[in-house]
Amino acid sequence: MRGIRLQPALIQQPSVLTVDGPSRRRDVAAYRQPGNIALMILMAAGDAGVSEGERIGEYEVKAVLGRGPLDITYKAKVSADHPTIPGQTVAVKCVSLPNMPSWEAVGLIEREAGVLLNLSQPGIPAYVASFQQDNTTFCLAQKLAKGQTLEELMANGTRLDDSTIYTIAVRLLEVLRYIHTQEPPIIHRDIKPANIVVDQLAGDGLNVSLVDFGGVTTPGYTAPEQFSGVSSVQTDLYSVGATLLLLITGGREPSAFPTRRLRVDFASSLPDQWTPFMSSLVAVTKRLIQPAPEDRYASAEEALNDLQTRLNEANQRLKAATEAQHETQKRIVKNVGVYAPVTGSRVGISMDEEGLLKIRVPPSLLGFRYYLLDTFFGLCVGAAALKLTTYWASNWETLDNGRWVLPLLFIPAWAVGLRYLRYPLRAVAERTNLLIGPYTTDIRTYLFGVRRSRVVGSTADLYEPKIETLETVWARPYDPNPEALKLQQGIVNHLLALGLTDTERQLIKAQINLYLKEFNKSRNN
């Protein structure tokens, strides 16, 4: 293959053929040092290996970096008189030809050397040399990429941002565009996170390298047709899609997703908020991992163009929405005023220069006065439940049947007591912060200073607030039932200002209505 030939007489024919893809994984992170050129030499696992301080040709072994069924990887130092990489620290991978398990395994080594010999692309580590040592060991030398593999990054819990994932996708598709347009086309066959090396995780400065052109297929990243022995341009594209699926879902392996008619279902694992990068990545990934080759892209060039086109369109939509949001901000700031506070009230209302309305709805220590009967009965039932609970806990060992009967009494008593006290407690101890902007709304509720809930949504989903009468547990004939401010956000209802006066509730209602009126005018225009 392209001038690279091994001597067949040295190969032992095995009785059983075993070539296991996942087991060929190589741990090379330790020797990927910036600026280093590493030498790859392949050696069978049956070899006893070389000890520290011994030499492999011109290379002095320093340590064992990794060991697999077909190879041993060493860290070694190149001799000072080496013609191209004198004195550098390199990686040495060795394969002993007599111990190779099959002709197919030999073919993988020969194929990798022949492929790398004539390739020149920034995303493919350059070929340096290949040779046989003592007619027993095949040696393949190439530059090794700097950085870490995607597999290592995911194992370390690294979460890549959307722009970085997008850049990785672009770089991989550029490599595939190059190798697939060779004559004849070169099919990698084993694109996966362990064979993708990245460096400088920062936007366009990201370096991405595709390694191991002598690999075999890996479950989870293998196109369905490859299990039938079919490899094509579309099989590599499928593997890129499976790799992107791992990245956009935060590190979840493709094989872990459910499938429907062989299609991977990953919608539930996507983030809630999508950037333009994410929206374009999701659309392209869906097509890349289609089970039928004809439903995928026809080429890496087509996939790359679609990815870039979708990003441009998403950015244009975002730009238009941002400009509309700015116009809305200007109109709101110009036309919406802030009502003067009620004398003696602790309700806070303000609006900043970006049109963000901030309303602080405080609790009221005297708020329970609107719920006197509920407070009284809630405290009575709660006291009885506490007494039963204390008695049960203190006499646990002496109780017989009562050990299980008493909980049937005090557990419902606690539930009833808390139901009585739900409005009084909220009136006395609940604080709500409303943030209403030209684009989003953020409503946070705190009980005794601890955040109880937070609901973030679109301002367009906010309805005009209403004053609502509360149905208390014990109605008071001498006074109307208490009221609260009801604010509907989509399908979520918020009850606010349970302990405030009617004047304060009306103030909050009027301020929100004024803001929403101007907001809706801006949307309609």
Residue 94, H or E segment: strand 89-96
pLDDT of residue 48: 52
- Tokens (6 digits) for 472: 């208390």
d(CA 196, CA 211): 6
Give me the residue spans of the domains in the chain. 46-144, 148-326, 348-522
pLDDT given for residue 445 in this prediction? 93
The string of DSSP codes covering 186-230 is P-----SGGGEEEE--SGGG-EEEE--TT----TTSS-GGGGGT-
Q: What is the pLDDT of residue 401?
A: 66
Task: Say what the pLDDT of residue 375 is.
Answer: 83
The pLDDT profile of the chain, 525 residues, written as one tens digit per residue, is: 344 444 443 333 332 222 233 333 333 333 333 333 333 433 333 345 678 888 777 778 787 765 655 666 677 777 788 777 787 776 677 777 766 666 666 666 676 677 778 888 999 887 777 767 777 777 776 776 778 889 989 999 888 999 999 999 999 999 999 999 988 888 888 899 988 989 875 445 788 999 877 555 567 898 999 888 888 999 999 999 999 999 999 889 998 888 887 788 888 888 877 899 999 999 999 999 999 999 999 999 999 999 999 999 999 988 887 777 777 777 777 777 888 888 888 899 998 888 889 999 999 888 777 787 788 888 898 898 888 888 888 887 777 766 777 777 788 888 888 888 888 888 889 999 999 988 889 999 999 989 988 888 888 899 999 998 887 665 555 455 688 899 998 888 998 988 888 899 999 999 999 999 888 887 776
Q: Tell if the pTM clears 0.75, that is, is over it.
A: no
State the amino acid at position 499 in one-letter form.
G
Please return the burial class of 280, using the count of CB atoms within 10 Å of its CB with bins 0-12, 13-18 and 19+.
buried
Provide the pLDDT for residue 402. 63
Contact 105, 19 (CB under 8 A): yes
What is d(CA 129, CA 143) in angstroms, rounded to the nearest whole number? Answer: 10
CATH number for region 46-144: 3.30.200.20
pLDDT of residue 307: 96
Same fold across 46-144 and 148-326: no
Are the C-beta atoms of 418 and 378 separated by less than 8 Å?
Answer: yes
For residues 59 and 79, the answer to whether their CB atoms sit within 8 Å is yes
pLDDT attached to residue 47: 46
What is the per-residue pLDDT for 499? 87
Q: What is the pLDDT of residue 49?
A: 65
Q: Identity (one letter) of the amino acid at 315? A: N
Q: What local confidence, expressed as pLDDT, does residue 217 receive?
A: 57
Domain 148-326 CATH assignment equals 1.10.579.10:
no
Q: For the residues of 14-73, what is the DSSP string, one character each?
A: PSS----SGGG----GGG--TT---EEE---TTS----TT-EETTEEEEEEEEE-SS-EE
Q: Report pLDDT for 25.
A: 31
Reported as half-sphere exposure (CB side, CA atoms, 13 A), residue 467 has a value of 14
Look-up of token digits 């309305």: 357
Task: Look at residue 480 in the predicted model and tell me its pLDDT.
Answer: 59
Cα pseudo-dihedral 306, 310, 312, 317, rounded to 10: 160
CA 384 to chain centre: 50
- What is the structure's pLDDT at 116? 76
Distant-in-sequence, close-in-space partners of 85: CB < 8 Å, separation ≥ 6: 37, 39, 78, 128
